[in-house]
């Protein structure tokens, strides 16, 4: 990324030959020293290529890299001239303007012309040339300008990384386990025996027996992992105002997979009369007609499930007596719009998760992450006895916020912000050596200040605060359990059976028409028999 522009500095009086000499010296100093500070590679710093004097001013052609950017460089030039000439010659700077600022990128990006400050965008071969409007000193310091540069930087980085931004490095894996894969795809079995029914794409109803089994697994996780570490249950909302998504970054990063909610245009039912009449006669509810009675969406549905945690502490000042804060939420579903590749309950539009969240000083946040890691490992190995692996991956909070800032390639720096994914093998899909036969069941992250900064969560003595979160995808863990343990209860984890038995097993639905097929009914009877033992 290169910047060029023409700095015009206007003085409050005409300048003499002596002053010009002085300025020449200052420019030499700027080029040699001050404009190079803060960049190891001088090309990433700034350089004045040429200059011409006017009666009471000077015009300088400047070129910069991205470490000492043109905005910073312009202000440095102005400050050096105004300080030196002010004290020695009583000459003041009346104004600074940056004419013809141009940003040149080494790759092709597209950017909206509607953005303020952008004058034109052109592309020549592999370059993008963005011309900005003329900027004065106050423009250069405005957050709007700085955010525009950040946007361009992000876009450039994304174009450079292309598909490479996804990384995955194995950290650890369990030993090989004997699995009981004869049942095939557990989703097919669950659907055939009528324990679950698909309402719409990626959305299912789980009948009491399946709910019982899912909840048992969740309870086991909470009792074995979450509670022993001192996390307490909270209840988070599941529909969030847009501002929350702007701060977490979700609106910028994953707007294409978020689901939005709208309020009615009016509370007065008479305003809906036309639409109601239409439904009477058509016996249909045309979505386009409905839309006319709705306000624009002002909410998005729960996406990461930890958003409300950061929102809750927004602008709060915490002291050591309340830190670290350790909560979890399991009060409702999360929503992700997926456009295809949906199968069974491993990939859902409405899914259930236990979201574990914590907030504290960096050391504590790392320590809690480590304790959780240990408990997770114990849970997978000793409690469930499944075949698992964990990997250092692209942090979800960068991926979901569309910003690649801070992202490094493939290096594991375990105590820096990052995400560890837990994955488990789905034997019915095929060989354990092929990654496509594994599924992500959960993750655990430390975010650094990714959320404490935008939500301005502060410590009373100004110490840095970090957050962390971990998601346990209930449906996915359950599918893995069935996929590796099969339907024969003798193979199930002891603890799980103990928990299942503690509460009477609910009755399956068995009506004339449901489960749908004869074969499904027979399978259901067989499974009930197995469970009864
Ligand atoms: N909030 C994290 C995520 O969205 C963990 O559940 O992946
Ligand atoms: Zn989270």
Q: How do residues 235-251 score in pLDDT, each as one tens digit? A: 999 999 999 999 999 99
pLDDT of residue 339: 81
Tell me the CA–centroid distance for residue 470 and ligand 2, in Å: 6
Spot the catalytic one: 153, 191, 306, 399.
Answer: 306
If one residue of 445, 446, 473 were mutated to test the ligand 1 pocket, choosing by the most ligand atoms within 8 A of its CB, it would be 445
Distances (CA, A) of 120 to 133, 134, 372, 415, 489: 9, 12, 51, 43, 68
- Residue 237's SS3 state is coil
Tell me the CA–centroid distance for residue 524 and ligand 1, in Å: 35
Over range 201-213, report the average pLDDT.
Answer: 96
Whether 421 sits among the annotated catalytic residues: the reply is yes
pLDDT of residue 123: 87
Say which CATH topology domain 2-160 has. Alpha-Beta Plaits (3.30.70)
Whether 108 shows a pLDDT value over 90: the answer reads no
Ligand 2 ion: residues within 5 Å (CB): 304, 306, 469
pLDDT of residue 165: 58
Spot the catalytic one: 224, 440, 463, 510.
Answer: 440
Distances (CA, A) of 241 to 139, 311, 355: 31, 10, 20
Which ligand 1 atom minimizes the distance to the CA of 305?
1
Whether 347 sits among the annotated catalytic residues: the reply is yes
Whether 469 sits among the annotated catalytic residues: the reply is yes
Concatenated DSSP letters of 127-190: EEEEEEPPEEHHHHH-HHHHHHHHHHHHHHHHHHHGGGG--EEEEEEPPP-----TT--HHHHH
- The model's confidence at residue 120, banded by pLDDT at 50, 70 and 90, is very high
pLDDT of residue 387: 97
Whether 410 shows a pLDDT value over 70: the answer reads no
0.75 exceeded by pTM: yes
Which letter does DSSP use for residue 383 in this model?
I
Are domains 2-160 and 169-262+297-519 of this chain identical in fold?
no
Q: What is the mean pLDDT of the chain?
A: 93
CATH number of 169-262+297-519: 3.30.930.10
Whether 336 sits among the annotated catalytic residues: the reply is yes
Q: Which residues pair with 443 in a beta bridge?
A: 421, 471
pLDDT of residue 184: 87
Give residue-wise pLDDT tens across range 502-520. 888 899 999 999 999 999 9
Give residue-wise pLDDT tens across range 148-205. 988 888 888 877 776 555 788 999 999 999 888 788 899 999 999 999 999 999 999 9
Give residue-wise pLDDT tens across range 265-274. 999 999 999 9
Whether 306 sits among the annotated catalytic residues: the reply is yes
Tell me the CA–centroid distance for residue 499 and ligand 1, in Å: 27
pLDDT of residue 409: 58
Going by their DSSP bridges, the two strands 418-425 and 260-261 should be labelled as: unpaired
List the domain boundaries for the chain: 2-160, 169-262+297-519
Which ligand 1 atom minimizes the distance to the CA of 470?
5
- The model's confidence at residue 418, banded by pLDDT at 50, 70 and 90, is very high
Spot the catalytic one: 69, 191, 336, 346.
Answer: 336
The closest residue, in CA terms, to atom 3 on ligand 1 is 304
Tell me the CA–centroid distance for residue 419 and ligand 1, in Å: 10
Whether 405 shows a pLDDT value over 60: the answer reads no
SS (H, E, C) 319-366: CHHHCCEEEEECCCCEECCCCCCCCCCCCCCEECEEEEEEEECHHHHH
User: Would you mind telling me the total number of residues written for the chain in this entry?
Assistant: 533
- Which residue ranges have their beta carbon within 6 Å of ligand 1? 304-306, 353, 355, 396, 443, 469, 471
- Residue 451's SS3 state is coil
Over range 39-68, report the average pLDDT.
Answer: 95
Among 242-256, 293-307, 499-513, the least confident range: 499-513
Of residues 34 and 532, more confidence is placed in 34
Whether 434 sits among the annotated catalytic residues: the reply is no
Tell me the CA–centroid distance for residue 471 and ligand 1, in Å: 5
């Amino acid at each position: 990324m290169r910047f060029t522009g023409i700095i015009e500095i206007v003085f409050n009086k005409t300048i003499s030959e002596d002053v010009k000499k002085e300025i020449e010296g200052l420019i030499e100093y700027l080029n040699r020293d001050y404009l190079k500070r803060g960049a190891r590679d001088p090309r990433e710093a700034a350089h004045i290529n040429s200059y011409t004097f006017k009666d009471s001013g000077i015009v300088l052609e400047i070129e910069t890299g991205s470490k000492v950017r043109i905005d910073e460089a312009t202000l440095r030039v102005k400050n050096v001239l105004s300080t030196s000439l002010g004290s020695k010659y009583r000459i003041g700077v009346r104004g600074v303007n940056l004419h013809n600022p141009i940003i040149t990128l080494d790759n092709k990006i597209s950017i909206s012309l509607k953005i303020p400050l952008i004058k034109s965008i052109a592309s020549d071969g592999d370059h993008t040339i963005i011309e900005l409007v003329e900027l004065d000193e106050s423009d250069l310091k405005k957050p709007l300008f700085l955010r525009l540069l950040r946007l361009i930087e992000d876009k450039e980085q994304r174009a450079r990384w292309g598909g490479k931004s996804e990384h995955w490095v194995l950290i650890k894996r369990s030993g090989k386990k004997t699995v009981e894969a004869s049942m095939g795809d557990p989703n097919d079995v669950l659907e055939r025996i009528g324990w679950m029914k698909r309402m719409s794409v990626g959305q299912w109803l789980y009948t009491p027996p399946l709910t019982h089994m899912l909840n048992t697994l969740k309870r086991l996780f909470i009792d074995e992992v979450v509670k022993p570490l001192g996390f307490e249950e909270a209840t988070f909302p599941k529909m969030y105002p847009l501002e929350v998504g702007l701060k977490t970054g979700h609106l910028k990063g994953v707007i294409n997979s978020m689901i939005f909610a709208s309020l009615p245009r009016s509370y007065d039912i008479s305003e809906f009369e036309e639409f109601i009449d239409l439904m009477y006669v058509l016996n249909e509810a045309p979505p386009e007609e409905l839309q006319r009675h709705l306000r624009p969406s002002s909410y998005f549905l729960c996406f990461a499930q930890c958003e409300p945690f950061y929102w809750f502490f927004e602008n709060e000042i915490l002291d050591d007596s309340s830190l670290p804060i350790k909560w979890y939420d399991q009060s409702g579903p999360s929503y992700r719009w997926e456009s295809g590749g949906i199968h069974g309950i491993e990939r859902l539009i409405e899914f259930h998760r236990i979201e574990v969240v914590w907030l504290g000083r960096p050391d504590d946040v790392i320590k809690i992450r480590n304790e959780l890691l240990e408990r997770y490992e114990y849970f997978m190995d000793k409690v469930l006895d499944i075949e698992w692996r964990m990997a250092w991956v692209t942090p979800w909070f960068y991926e979901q916020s569309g910003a690649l800032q801070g992202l490094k390639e493939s290096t594991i720096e375990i105590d820096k912000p990052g995400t560890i994914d837990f994955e488990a093998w789905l034997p019915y899909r095929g060989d354990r050596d092929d990654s496509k036969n594994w599924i992500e069941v959960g993750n655990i992250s430390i975010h650094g200040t990714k959320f404490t900064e935008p939500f301005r969560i502060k410590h009373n003595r100004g110490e840095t605060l970090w957050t962390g979160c971990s998601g346990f995808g209930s449906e996915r863990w359950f599918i893995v359990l069935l996929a590796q343990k099969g339907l024969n209860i003798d193979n199930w984890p002891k603890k799980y059976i103990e928990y299942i038995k503690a509460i009477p097993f609910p009755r399956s639905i068995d009506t004339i028409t449901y489960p749908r097929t004869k074969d499904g009914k027979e399978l259901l009877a067989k499974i009930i028999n197995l469970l009864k033992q």
